[in-house]
């Protein structure tokens, strides 16, 4: 077969315009255009010390592709620093940031696990709810133990309702007593009673 004499088209070379060390890459992340920011994220993936800068950029980043690249980079780092960069997003008003953080955190059970108990005691009700949502995706041996902690001690009905929903999916027969106690604790709330009964039936049927 004869080779074509037509040369392959050259790939466009992106002028990054910033030094290639970590500080230069962080400067590019903060000050470059969208394409330069994506390159900076890619290059910073191998530098765990840049996790905080990546997390901070998520709070101000408007380009969806750059945000996705940052989430991927933090998930690849899989470090305590990456988790520290992602957890503040549970307090964000932006559902895209919250959901993105939960998706990445759910894939890091070993480094997320030590943070869960404190998150479930957070003064912010929404943070506790989102933490329960995270437990629904987290593959960790203590998930049902943490859910029981919520069922037996949290006073906020919306947090407890979220925990019942996850327990219905993950619970075992030994968790039925905790659901019954939850129903007793919220005896004046018909929704909690109904949800607990449904969870108990689903566990029994599984």
In-domain check, residue 129: yes
Q: Do 198 and 125 share a domain, yes or no?
A: yes
Evaluate whether residue 160 is within a structural domain: yes
Residues 169 and 193 in one domain: yes
Same domain, 99 and 115: no
- What's the confidence (pLDDT) of residue 21? 83
Q: Which of 41, 75, 105 is the last residue of a domain?
A: 105
- 169 found inside a domain: yes
Q: Do 206 and 131 reside in the same domain of the chain? A: yes
> What residue numbers bound the domain in which 83 lies?
15-105
Q: Is the dihedral of CA 77, 78, 81, 86 positive or negative?
A: positive
Predicted pLDDT of residue 150: 99
**CA 167 from centre of chain:** 19
Predicted pLDDT of residue 10: 47
Mean pLDDT per 10-residue interval, the chain, length 206 residues = 51 54 94 96 96 97 98 98 98 96 98 98 98 98 98 98 98 98 98 98 96
What is the reported pLDDT for 12? 47
pTM given for the model:
0.87
What integer pLDDT is reported at residue 6 of this predicted model?
55
Report which of 148, 154, 146 is spatially closest to residue 113, judged by C-alpha positions: 146
pLDDT at 5: 57
For residue 42, give both structure tokens.
């890619």
CATH code, domain carrying 87:
1.25.10.10
**Residue 19 backbone phi and psi in degrees, to 5:** -60, 155
Tokens describing residue 58: 């998520």
Task: Look at the chain and report how many structural domains it folds into.
Answer: 2
Instruction: Give yes or no: residues 51 and 87 share one domain.
Output: yes
């Amino acid at each position: 077969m004869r080779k074509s004499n037509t040369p392959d088209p050259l790939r466009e070379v992106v002028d990054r315009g910033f030094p290639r060390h970590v500080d230069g890459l962080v400067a590019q992340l903060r000050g470059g255009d969208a394409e330069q920011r994506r390159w900076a994220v890619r290059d910073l993936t191998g530098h765990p010390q840049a996790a905080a800068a990546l997390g901070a950029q998520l709070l101000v980043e408007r380009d969806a592709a750059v945000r996705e690249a940052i989430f991927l980079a933090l998930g690849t780092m899989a470090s305590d620093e990456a988790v520290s960069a992602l957890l503040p997003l549970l307090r964000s008003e932006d559902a895209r940031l919250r959901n993105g953080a939960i998706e990445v955190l759910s894939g890091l059970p070993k480094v997320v696990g030590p943070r869960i108990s404190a998150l479930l005691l957070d003064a912010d009700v929404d943070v506790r709810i989102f933490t329960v949502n995270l437990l629904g995706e987290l593959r960790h041996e203590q998930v049902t133990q943490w859910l029981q902690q919520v069922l037996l001690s949290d006073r906020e009905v919306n947090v407890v309702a979220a925990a019942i929903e996850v327990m219905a999916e993950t619970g075992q027969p030994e968790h039925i007593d905790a659901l019954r106690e939850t129903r007793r604790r919220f005896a004046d709330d018909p929704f909690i009673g109904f949800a607990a009964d449904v969870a108990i039936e689903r566990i029994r049927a599984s």
